[in-house]
Structure 1
Amino acid sequence: MSASRRDRAFEREVRRVFRHFLEPGARAGTLPDGGIGLYGPRGGKPAIKTEQTFWSLCEARDLVTAGTGDDKGFWRPSEAGRAFYRRLVAEADPFGEQHRLMGTRVLRDAGGGEARLPVNEAESPLAWLRHRKGADGQHLIDATQFEAGERLRADFTVGQLTPRVTADWSAVTASGKRARDPAEIADHALAARQRVNRALVAVGPRLSDILLAVCCHLEGLEAAERSFGWPKRSAKLVLQIALDRLAAHYGMTKASDQAVAATARASD
């Protein structure tokens, strides 16, 4: 394999692994078979696995740092690793980075609170799909799929799970009123994180990757395809399947779909 191909393969694996590794509380440890597993803050089974050879390259490039104290025997992402990942994501979607116009939208999350969510006013990937139609005249994603994706992103942001954007915490409480007690905010964020975790587990490991990329990190479909090494024009179908499973997890029935569709038509 040529040096350029090795570099592209390494960068592709960095995008795949660090998308999970940069989540709050994540750390990496050696598996019994010699590979590397990424664990969430509560431990348990590794959420994702990678090869020792890849990890050795990450250490050589100072993308990861060895833990101390309670973290001894584990690794955390270094500042250089965070910066490298952000650069790779930006390079994977240069058009999106150039044309992204960030604003805010107030959404009510599943816990009854409100959050000011960062949105791309030049259209998020889900909004783009929702407002475009295919050759059959139907929207590329339906109202229920769109609502499910937005609900996941609401919990993702309220739970402060993304390193790329920051929620307006002054507006988030369990009652939807302005927060005054930091502990109340922490409890609300923890509940949101638990809902995100349950949703991603219900959808499954492969499908959850595309949901995180598109719904939560606002990556375009082409950028996601390059990140995952998928064939061109495959991400849309995978995303549709993932959104269907997500909607099923949320209990969005056909009746609720009709209600969501009526709301969507009113806002079109």
Structure 2
Amino acid sequence: MQKGEIAPEAVMRLAVGGGGERFLAAHHVEAARRLARLFDRARMMQRVTMSYDPARAGGGRDRPRQGDLADSAIQARRVLDGLARRMPRDCWNMLTDVCGFDKGLQQIETERNWPRRSAKLVLRIGLDQLTSIMGLGEKAEGRAASATRNWLPERPPMFAEPTE
């Protein structure tokens, strides 16, 4: 399974829950999964190993430069920029660390000198903000019903009437 197909590990731990009541609902997990896919598509994930891909190694006369990005990556970065502008800064930074850089909650608390177990509250508030922006809710709701349309005046019979 590719990176980004499932929600980040920190989100999944809070969504599974141990005692019966889950801290994060399914729409929170879906929002985190979509955000992780956006970060992946934007090519903003950290690289761990060296890449000898000519597109990444540098340009020459016949090779593209490192700064060239696919249109899909540029569009994903624009969407991320729009999301960042619509959310509170601390919430966006939390979601970036968890969904973009796959950091754990304890690591984030340590880096920011936050009290223990405060990162999961900020994560939930951030995911609540993100789900409202994305239009996700606890219950799936579709569009209002519309008149049924078809291109046939009436359904033709499946079997021909027997002739005698």
- 1:31 aligns with none
Offset, 1:253: 3.1
Shift of 1:226: 0.6
Unaligned ranges ≥5, structure 1: 1-103, 106-115, 167-184, 258-268
Matched residue, 2:34: 151
Unmatched runs of 5 consecutive residues or more in structure 2: 50-68, 142-164
Count how many residue pairs are aligned between Structure 1 and Structure 2. Answer: 123
Give the drift of 1:118: 7.8
| Counterpart selection for 1:142 from 25, 39, 49 | 25
Equivalent residue of 1:197, what SS?
Answer: helix
1:81-230 matches, within 5 Å, as 104-105=1-2, 117=4, 124-133=9-18, 137-164=20-47, 186-230=70-114
Aligned-residue identity in percent: 30
Q: Larger % of strand: which?
A: 1
Give the TM-score normalised by the residue count of structure 2: 0.66
Larger radius of gyration: 2
Larger RCO: Structure 1 or Structure 2 (Cα < 8 Å, ≥ 6 residues apart)?
2
The list of structure 1 runs, each at least 4 consecutive aligned residues, that deviate by more than 4 angstroms after superposition, is none
Distance (Å, rounded) in 2 between the aligned partners of 1:165 and 1:249? 32
Distance in 2 between residues matched to 1:140 and 1:235, nearest whole Å: 13
TM-score by length of 1: 0.42
Flag the 1:118–1:204 CA change in 2: closer, same or farther, 3 A. Answer: same
| Contact 1:129–1:141 (CA under 8 A) maintained in structure 2 | yes
CA-CA distance at 1:232 after TM superposition: 0.8
* 2:4 aligned counterpart, secondary structure: strand
CA RMSD of aligned residues (A): 2.6
The answer to whether the 8 A contact 1:125-1:221 is kept is: yes
